Chain A
Amino acid sequence: MNGVTICEWMIDTISDWVVTHFALFFPAGSIAEAEGRLIIVVFLLMLIVVVPVFILTAYFAWHYRESNTKATYTPKWDTSIPHEVVWWSVPVAIVFVLSIIAWNAAHDLDPYKAIESPNEPVVIQTISLRWKWLFIYPSERIATVNSITIPENTPVIFRITSDAPMNSFWMPEIAGMIMNMPGMITELNVIVPERGTYVGMSSNYSGEGFAGMDFKIHVVSREAYQSWAKMTQMSGQALDFHKYQKLAEPSKKVPAEHYRLAARKLFRYVVMKYMMPGIDSPKDLHGEGDMKLPVRSGGEMKMEEKRQEPGTSQEAEAPMGGMIMQVPIMKMKP
C-alpha cells in the first residue's frame, strides 16, 4: 500500500464514520436536513462576533501586560461613544438577521405544518407507553410496537400522545422532536426521500425504562409499504382493548411487534380517558367519538369533524399548525 492509498483509506473511513454517526448533519428526512443546515448557518453568523472577541482578548491580554513598558497606559480612559456604537450595533444587526432566520424557520419547520406532496399522507397515531412505543395506522388498520414502516417520499403525519409520563418523540435523522403528553395530542409532519433504516428514541425522561425506548424506522418503497401493510393486516395478532391493557403495563426493552388493529377507537380512548371522568374503555366513548375538536390552523381556531371512518385517510386537508387541545363536552355518565 502506498502513501496515497493509506491517506485515501483514512479519509474514507473517517468520513464514512462521520456521515453515519452525525445524525444532525447527515440526516435522511427533509425536515432534519433543513434543521441541520440552520445549525451551520447560525454558527457561521455567530463567528462574526466570536472570532473578534478571541483575537482582541488574546492580543490585548498579551500586549498590555505589565512587563511591556512600551505599551500605552491610559488608566482613566473609560468612555468612548464610537466604540460603544460599534459593539452595540454589530450584535444588534446580527441578531436582527438571526431573528428573521428564526421567524422563517419556526414557521417553515413547524411540526404541525402540512408537507406539500402529490402523494397522499400516511397517518400514524403514536402512543408512548412505559417503556415502549405503540404506533397505530388507522387507515391501514394495523399497529406496531417499537417499529415504524413508512413509504419514501410520502408525507407522514404523526398524531402523538402518551399513556405514561411525558415523553418526547424523536427521530434525529428524520425530524426534530415533539413531546408526548397524556390527555393531549401533538403532531409531527415528516417526509423522507431516502430509503433506509433509522433510529428513534424518547428524549424526555419518563422513568426506569426510559433508556430502552429506542425504536426503528424503516423507510421503504411505496409498493413495499402497501404490501407490508396488507400482510400485517392479514396475519398479525389482534390488538384489541384487552391486549392493549397488557401492553400498557410497565415493561422494558420490548422487541418489535406487529398487530392488526381490532380496536379502532383506541387512540381516542387513550386521549379521552385523561380528559373526562368515567372513560375506562373504548366502549365508554359514545358521542365523544364524533365530538367536534378544535384544531389550530395558522393561529386561528377552527372546528373540524373528527370521525374514524374505515378506509379513508384521516385528513382531507391537513391543519397548518398548532396543538390540538381537548375541549371536553361535559357529559357525565349516570
Chain B
Amino acid sequence: MFGRFTIEALIHGPIVLTTQIFIVVIILAVVGVLFYTKRWKWLWKNWLTTVDPKKIGILYIIFAGIMLLRGFADAILMRTQQAAAIGASDGFLTANHFAQIFTAHGTIMIFFVATPLMIGLMNYIVPLQIGSRDVAFPFLNSLSFWLTAGGGMLVMLALVVGDFAPSGWVGYPPLSELAYSPGVGVDYWIWALQLSGIGTTLTGVNMIATIFKMRAPGMTLMRMPIYTWTVLVTAIMIIFAFPILTATLGMLSLDRIIGAHFFTSGFGGNMMMYINLIWAWGHPEVYILVLPAYGVWSEIVATFSRKNLFGYTSMVFATAAIAIFSFIVWLHHFFTMGSSANVMAFFGIMTMIIAIPTGVKIFNWIFTMYRGRIKYTSLMYWFLGFVFTFTIGGMTGVMLANPAIDFQVHDSLFLVAHFHNMAIGGVLFGYMAGFVYWFPKIFGFKLDEKWSTRSVWGWVVGFWVAFGPLYILGFMGATRRMYDYGAGQGWGWLFIIAGIGVVIIAYGIFSQIMMLIVGIKHRKEKEYRDADGDPWDGRTLEWSLPSPVPEYAFDTIPRVYGRDAFWYKKYGDRNAYEKTEQTDIHMPKNTSLGFVISGFAFVCAFAIIWHIWWLALVTLIACIVLLVVRACDDDREYVLTKEEVAEMEARARGKQYA
C-alpha cells in the first residue's frame, strides 16, 4: 500500500530533526499569514494560476532565491566540516551525510538556483525586448515553472523524508546503481532532475517559438537586443541537450526499478556509456547556463558606457560558435577514463577552441567601454568583478583542457575551484547583476545602490578567499569530496581560510537582502522611484514601458527601424521606432492546470521513488487526462478593449509621474 515507505524514513539525527522542525514552523507561519491577511484567493488568482510571463518570471526568481539559501547552507556545512576536520579530528558530519550534502549542493545550485534565475529573467525580459506581449505558449510556460518547483520540492523533501543521493550531482554508476545505493536517495535525485528537466526543455521550445515568431514588425534578427540573441541560442541548445538527460536518467531509473542493465557493473552494463551520455548533456548544460549571462553583461556594459555594444555581429557569431562547439567537447570531463591519446587530444583541442570566441567577447566588452562615458553604478562594479574573476577561471579551464595536465588535476580541488570560478564568477554574478539591472522595470523602484555595491565586494572578495585556497590545495594533490583528510597533509589551514571566504560571501548575501529591504523601505522616494520607466538611460525597448510593466505590456506594438531603437529615439532619431494603432488586446486566461498537473507529477515522482505503484499509475493517468483536457479547451482568452487599455496605460504612466 505504501511501497517501501515506512516511518523510519522520517527519523534521522539531531541536525535533520532541527531542520524538520524548522520547515514545519515555516510552513505553519506562511499558512498563518495567508489566513490572517485573507490572501488565499489573491495567491491563487495572481500567482498559482497565472500564465503571465512577467509573473512566472518573478516566481522563478523567488524560487531561485529560496533554493540559494538552502544550497548556501550546504556550502557552509561542507566548508565548516572540512575546516573542522583539521589534524586528528574528523569533523562533525558523518561521511554519508557529507556525501548527501555535496550532492544536494551541486544539484540545487545548478538545477534550482542558476537555471530558474536564468529562466526567470528570460521570461520577464525577452518578450519586452522584442516588442511582444507574451511568450508563444503561456500555459506551457506555467507548466515549466511548476514542474521545476516540483523538482525542487523533491530535493527539499529528501532532506526530511528518507535520504538524498550520495553519488554527486551527476550520479555516476555503479555507485548510483542498486548494488551500492539501494535506498531512495538516488531515486529522489533522478526524479527531481526529470521533472525540472522537462520544465526546462519546454522553456526552450517556448523561447524559440517566441523569438522566431513574435518579434515586433521591423525587428529583424540582427536588430534584436543582444540578450535576446543569447537566449535564442541557449534555447536551441536546450532542446538539443536536455533530451539526452531525460533519456539517460530514464535508463538509470529502469536499471533501478526493473533491474535493467544499461549501466550496471555486470550483465553487459557499461558505466562508461552513462558517463559519456551524462556529459554529452552536461557540457552543453553549463554553456546553456552561461550564455544568457554573457547577454546580460553585453546589455550592462553598453548601457552604462552610453555606447553601442562593440562588434554586435561578431558577438552573435561568437555566441553561435560557442554553442556549436559546446556539443563536441564532452569527453574533457573524463580524460582520466582511459581513452586513446588521439581521442583525448581531439577533445582537448576542441575545448581550447571555445576559448577563442569567449576571448573575443571579453575584448568586445572592453572596447565597448573604450571611448564611452561610463556611469558608475553597482552594475558596472559587478561587471568589473566579473571580468577579473571570470578571466582567471577561463585560464584555468584552458589548463584543464590539456589532457596530460588534467591527469593530475581531474577531480581535485583545482577542478572544484575552476568550475565554481565559472559558475559563480560568470553565471551567478551575471544573473545577480541582471536582477539588480531589471529590478526597477519589474517592481517600479531601484534597489539600494550602497548595499548593492557592498554585495559586489562581498561576493567578489568572498569568492577569492573561499576558492583561492582550493586552487592551491589542488596543486598540493588534494582530491575532492573528502569529508576528512590526513593530519600530516598540511591542508588544514587552507580549509580554514576557505571557511572565512564563505563568511565573506555570507556578507555579500546579507547585503543583497539589505538592498532589497532598504529599497522597499524607500521605494516611494525620488532617488529610488522609477518615475519614467527608464532609470538607467537604457537602450532597448523594455525601457520604453512603464514600471512596473502593466499586464498587457505594450499598449500598442511598436514598429522598429533599427537596433537600440529606444536609445536612438531618445537621442535625436524620431523615426527609430513608432507606435502603431491601438486595438483590442487578446490576453490568455489564467489556468490552474499548470499548477495542478505539476502537483500530480510531483506526487507521481514521489510514488515512483517509494515504489507506491498504484499511486504512481493513478497520478500519471491524471497528468495525461488533464493535458488532454487543456488541449481541448477552446475558451482560453479574454479581451481588453482598446478603451480599457488606454485607461490602464494612462493610469500606469500617471502613477509614475504623480
**Binding between chains A and B:** yes
Identify the A interface with B (CB < 8 A).
Answer: 17, 20-25, 32, 34-36, 38-39, 42-43, 46, 49-50, 53-54, 56-57, 60-61, 64-66, 71-80, 83-84, 87-88, 91-92, 95, 98-99, 101-103, 105-113, 165-166, 168, 170, 172-173, 175-179, 181-184, 186-187, 199, 201-212, 214, 273-275, 277, 296, 299, 321-323
A57 and B476: CB pair below 8 A? no
CA distance A206 to B482 in the complex (A): 11
State the 6 A-B residue pairs at the shortest beta-carbon distance, nearest first: A176-B407, A172-B477, A23-B477, A105-B404, A78-B308, A165-B175
Assuming the A-B contacts A24-B475, A72-B371, A105-B403, are A182 and B174 also in contact, with contact meaning beta carbons closer than 8 angstroms in the complex? yes
Docked complex Cα distance between A23 and B490 (Å) = 12
Would A176 and B404 count as touching, CB distance under 8 A?
Answer: yes
Interface hit among B145-153, B280-288, B338-346? B338-346
Cβ contact within 8 Å between A64 and B373: yes
Residues of B within 8 A of A79 (CB): 310-311, 313
A-side contacts of B405, CB under 8 Å: 35, 38-39, 42, 105
**Besides A64-B374, A78-B307, 19 other A-B contacts (C-beta < 8 A):** A17-B490, A23-B476, A42-B405, A43-B395, A46-B398, A65-B376, A66-B373, A73-B307, A75-B308, A76-B308, A77-B308, A79-B313, A95-B356, A98-B398, A102-B401, A110-B340, A176-B406, A179-B338, A210-B482
Residues in B whose Cβ lies below 8 Å from that of A46: 395, 398-399
The 30 sampled A-B contact pairs (Cβ below 8 Å) are: A21-B476, A22-B476, A24-B477, A34-B404, A35-B405, A42-B402, A42-B405, A50-B395, A53-B363, A53-B387, A61-B369, A64-B369, A65-B374, A78-B307, A78-B368, A88-B356, A91-B359, A95-B353, A98-B352, A103-B345, A103-B349, A106-B403, A165-B174, A168-B336, A176-B406, A176-B407, A178-B338, A184-B272, A203-B410, A299-B340
Q: Given A102-B349, A207-B166, A75–B402 Cβ distance below 8 Å?
A: no
- The contact string, 1 if C-beta is below 8 Å from chain A, for chain B 643-657, is 000000000000000
| Among B366, B368, B474, residue most surrounded by chain A Cβ atoms (within 10 Å) | B366
Residue on A with the closest CB to B98?
Answer: A211
Least Cβ–Cβ distance between B318 and chain A, in angstroms:
9
> Considering only CB atoms and an 8 Å cut-off, how many residues of chain B contact the other chain?
93
B308 touches A166 (CB 8 A): no
Q: Is B345 a contact of A106 with CB atoms below 8 Å?
A: yes
The answer to whether A211 and B484 touch across the interface, beta carbons within 8 angstroms, is: yes
In the assembly, what is the distance between CA of A169 and CA of B266, in Å?
21
Contacting residues, chain A, for B310 (C-beta < 8 A): 77-80
With the chains together, A75 CA to B366 CA distance in Å? 14
Instruction: List B residues at the A interface (Cβ < 8 Å).
Output: 94-96, 99, 166-168, 172-175, 180, 265-267, 271-272, 305-314, 334, 336-342, 344-345, 348-349, 352-353, 355-356, 359-360, 362-363, 366-376, 380, 384, 387-388, 391-392, 395, 398-399, 401-412, 474-477, 479-486, 489-490
Distance of A214 Cα from B352 Cα, bound (Å): 33
- In the complex, what distance in Å separates the CA atom of A201 from the CA atom of B491? 15
Chain A residues contacting B95 (CB-CB under 8 Å) are 208-211
Q: Which of B338, B366, B482 contacts A211 (CB 8 A)?
A: B482
CA distance A316 to B410 in the complex (A): 32
Residue among A23, A53, A209 making CB contact with B391, cutoff 8 Å: A53
Question: A73, B271: Cβ atoms under 8 Å?
Answer: no
Set of chain A residues within 8 Å of B355, measured between Cβ atoms: 91, 95
The CA of A43 and the CA of B353, in the complex, are separated in Å by 16
Q: Cβ of B308 and Cβ of A101 under 8 Å apart?
A: no
| B342 CB to nearest chain A CB (Å) | 6
A35 x B314 contact (CB < 8 A): no
What residue of chain A has the Cβ atom nearest to residue B406's Cβ?
A176
A residues in contact with B479, CB < 8 Å: 170, 201-203
**Assembled-state Cα–Cα distance A87/B361 (Å):** 10
Contact of B411 (CB < 8 Å), options: A113, A203, A211: A203
Q: How far is the CA of A195 from the CA of B392 in the complex (A)?
A: 37
Neighbouring A residues of B367 by C-beta, 8 Å: 60, 80, 83
**Contact A42 B398, beta carbon cutoff 8 Å:** yes
Known: A87-B360, A101-B402, A205-B175. A179 touches B337 (CB 8 A): yes
- Of chain A, the residue at the smallest CB distance from B94 is A208
Contact B384 A61 (CB under 8 A): yes
Question: Contact between A88 and B180 (Cβ–Cβ < 8 Å)?
Answer: no
| Residues of A contacting B344 in the complex (Cβ-Cβ under 8 angstroms) | 106
Evaluate contact between B311 and A109: CB separation under 8 angstroms: no
Residue of B344, B395, B402 with most partner-chain A CB within 10 A = B402
| A186 and B338 contacting across the interface, CB-CB below 8 Å | yes
Bound Cα distance from A182 to B173, whole angstroms: 11
Is the pair A206, B374 in contact by a Cβ cutoff of 8 Å? no
Which residue of chain A lies nearest to B172 when distances are taken between CB atoms in the complex?
Answer: A166
CB distance from A86 to the nearest CB of B (A): 8
